[in-house]
């Protein structure tokens, strides 16, 4: 009887088909024995099985099951060797620094493959969300005194005040994705929670496709320096304006439609989106990239031009607003 391959094994095999960014110049010292792709496979296994430590990962990998036997075969080098525990720890700890370039490379590849902007404006949405740190919190008085009262405290995290969650000790996930019928992550970065959105945005812009023309963000991205940086590459940053509501300027209806598009991709956790949790974000991104569609309706005659930009073929002469 033929045994069906598990979904986890299939997922790990797909890592071999992921495009990799150009390797950075190697410094002095011994060259790496194991390829970076092998540790991306291990990361995928740890995320799916919710394994947070290397010893947990190795214990699961050693289980005498057909699934683990197949995975062990995918985690060896060309000579059939598995990395040691120390190598797993060291190389997995180095992955976060490489993920922004990896996500950007994958996003550009999917843009070329799926053509999400073929029948709509070339727009993307940018936003961030806070992630609570595991363990305890490091209060301000203890931080200033250099005292860590408990070993469970993540000392690299920081405090921020969210309009939705209140005071949070943890991290902040910055994300850019396409604002089109197909949701594709284009750039991502994880920082301590006190990092300012507008200051992190320029780093994300480096990974975005050159054909991007509109970047939709909230009021935290209303920054003249960011707008000038985007303008150099032919991209227009669209953010809410300040002041008391209701706004009565001519751009109200335009911004309303654009930010419905943006908000549909960054809904709060209590509604339907799981962006507030990094593991669920990645799994949802994979499942929705090829499935989800966002219908856009244009309600008023004033918004006819912007409606043509978002729902019809891209026309530079129409979309100059």
pLDDT range class, residue 32, cuts 50, 70, 90: confident
* Strand-pair category, 123-132 with 214-216: parallel
166 secondary structure, DSSP code: E
d(CA 262, CA 126): 8
Q: What is the pLDDT of residues 117-160, one digit of tens each?
A: 988 889 999 999 899 998 889 999 999 999 999 888 999 999 99
- Give me the half-sphere count of Cα atoms (radius 13 Å) on the Cβ side of residue 228: 3
Q: What is the pLDDT of residues 153-207, one digit of tens each?
A: 999 999 999 877 889 999 999 999 998 888 899 999 999 999 999 999 999 998 9
Are the C-beta atoms of 105 and 23 separated by less than 8 Å? no
pTM for the model? 0.72
Query: Which position has the higher pLDDT, 150 or 3?
Result: 150
d(CA 131, CA 214): 27
């Amino acid at each position: 009887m033929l045994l069906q391959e598990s979904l986890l094994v299939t997922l790990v095999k797909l890592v071999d088909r992921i495009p990799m960014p150009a390797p950075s110049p190697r410094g002095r010292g011994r060259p790496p024995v194991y390829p970076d792709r092998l540790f991306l496979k291990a990361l995928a296994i740890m995320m799916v099985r919710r394994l947070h430590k290397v010893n947990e990962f190795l214990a699961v990998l050693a289980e005498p099951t057909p699934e683990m036997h197949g995975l062990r075969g995918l985690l060896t080098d060309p000579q059939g060797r598995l990395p040691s525990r120390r190598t797993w720890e060291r190389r997995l700890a180095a992955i976060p620094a490489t993920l922004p370039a990896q996500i950007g490379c994958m996003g550009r590849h999917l843009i070329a493959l799926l053509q999400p902007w073929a029948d709509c404006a070339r727009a993307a949405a940018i936003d961030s969300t806070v992630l609570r740190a595991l363990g305890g919190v490091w209060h301000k008085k203890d931080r200033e005194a250099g005292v860590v009262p408990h070993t469970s405290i993540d000392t690299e995290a920081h405090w921020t005040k969210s309009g939705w969650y209140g005071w949070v000790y943890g991290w902040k996930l910055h994300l850019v994705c396409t604002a089109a019928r197909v949701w594709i992550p284009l750039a991502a970065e994880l920082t301590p929670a006190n990092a300012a959105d507008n200051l992190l945005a320029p780093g994300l812009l480096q990974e975005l496709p050159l054909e991007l023309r509109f970047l939709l963000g909230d009021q935290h991205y209303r920054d003249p320096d960011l707008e000038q940086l985007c303008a150099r590459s032919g991209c227009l940053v669209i953010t809410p304006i300040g002041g008391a509501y209701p706004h009565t300027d001519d751009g109200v209806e335009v911004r309303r439609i654009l930010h419905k598009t943006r908000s549909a991709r960054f809904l709060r956790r209590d509604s339907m989106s799981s962006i507030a949790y990094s593991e669920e974000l990645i799994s949802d991104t994979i499942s929705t990239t090829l499935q989800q569609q966002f219908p856009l309706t244009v309600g008023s005659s004033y918004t006819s031009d912007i409606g043509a930009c978002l729902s019809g073929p891209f026309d530079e002469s129409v979309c100059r607003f």
